[in-house]
Amino acid sequence: MRLRVRYGRSVQPFIILAIFMAAILLAWVRPAAAQSAMPLDDYWETIAQIRDALNEANEDDNRARETAVTTLSNITQIELADGRIQPINHTFLIRQLENENMSHEEVATLLITYRSSRLGWPDPSLPIVDKAALDNVLSQPAFNYAPEEPNFLQRLWQDIRQSIQDFFLRLFPEDSGVNLPINNLLVILAVVLIIGALAYALRGLIGDLTADAAMSAEDELSGEPLTAELALQKAQELSTGGDYRTAVRYLYLSSLLLLEERGLLRYDRSLTNREYLRSVAHRPELATILREVIEVFDRVWYGFQSLSASEYDTYAQRVATLKQQKETR
């Protein structure tokens, strides 16, 4: 059986579009550049300097508050005494600085309270015994290995995931009260894209296989030119023998050939089912019946759906109705 499939032509634009959209997404929402962490002592000194600047500023002078907002916005993480990096969020303090109803003195008092809270923080330290035990465990061969570097596709997925996450965080900041399940959204988006791509590819594949049925039919007739009468005779022989699937194929081809003889459409083995339907779109009644005939043919011939004798008779009646279109006009 020869097979002519124009699959690549149908799917290629979809793949190019998907890559183009991914490139736009990556370019639009690039992850923010990593910022160096501020040492903890320097951080508290910065808070003290902001407090002093507010105490010295006049109430009608907002430059100290504007400078404080800029300074706090640029501090996103601090380095603790044990070397750990701790992210920090100044959204609350920035809102108070931008609140015109808050005086300089009130904001300064808030900063004093904030700085005083540091005295109650526990020192993040581990007992020497625990650290020694941990070092002993980590010295075992099982823990002495080089981490596997991600490949290109893994890095690309990480970049896309981070870009999408940053995009949603820009739309719904952490303090907005909207909690979006980013991981679930990414999984759902990936599943939808995969299903969409498969459906698009399958749709094009089934539609482009129409020529296969016609070519294989001519092969079975030993190369004899296929006509509406020969195809109908073959369908009757096969249905009598119980081969309804192949009979449906010949019955469908006989209807296309007869419609061509009556000038209702142009039969061409290279045309797809969708192209046949588009060619008769200006004849709604004919297009409706032809669509029903094509749908059954696709399910039975390409989808390998079984067909009973009564269902075949119903299909043959629809084909007969289709063949009467010339006479009713």
pLDDT in tens, 211-228: 455 445 555 555 567 788
* HSE-up of residue 250 (Cα within 13 Å, Cβ side): 23
Domain segments of the chain as ranges: 7-31+157-208, 38-122, 210-323
Cβ atoms within 10 A of the Cβ of 62, count? 15
Instruction: Summarize pLDDT for 87-138 with one digit per residue, the tens.
Output: 988 888 899 888 888 888 888 888 888 888 777 666 655 555 567 777 777 7
Identify which of 123, 47, 52, 45 has the alpha carbon closest to the alpha carbon of residue 84.
123
Beta bridge partners of 79: 39, 85
Q: Across residues 316-329, what is the average pLDDT?
A: 73
- Which positions ≥6 away from 216 have C-beta within 8 Å? 1, 2
pLDDT recorded at residue 327: 46
Lowest mean pLDDT among 152-156, 188-192, 255-259, 264-268: 188-192
Model-level pTM greater than 0.95?
no
CA torsion 280-267-260-266 (nearest 10°) is: 50
Whether 48 shows a pLDDT value over 70: the answer reads: yes
Question: Would you say 217 and 249 are in contact if contact means Cβ atoms under 8 Å apart?
Answer: yes
Beta bridge partners of 85: 79
Q: How far is CA 88 from CA 4, 43, 74, in A?
A: 62, 11, 11
Band of pLDDT at residue 183, cut at 50, 70 and 90: low
Domain 210-323 has CATH 3.60.90: no
Task: With residue 232 as reference, give the H or E element that holds it.
Answer: helix 228-240
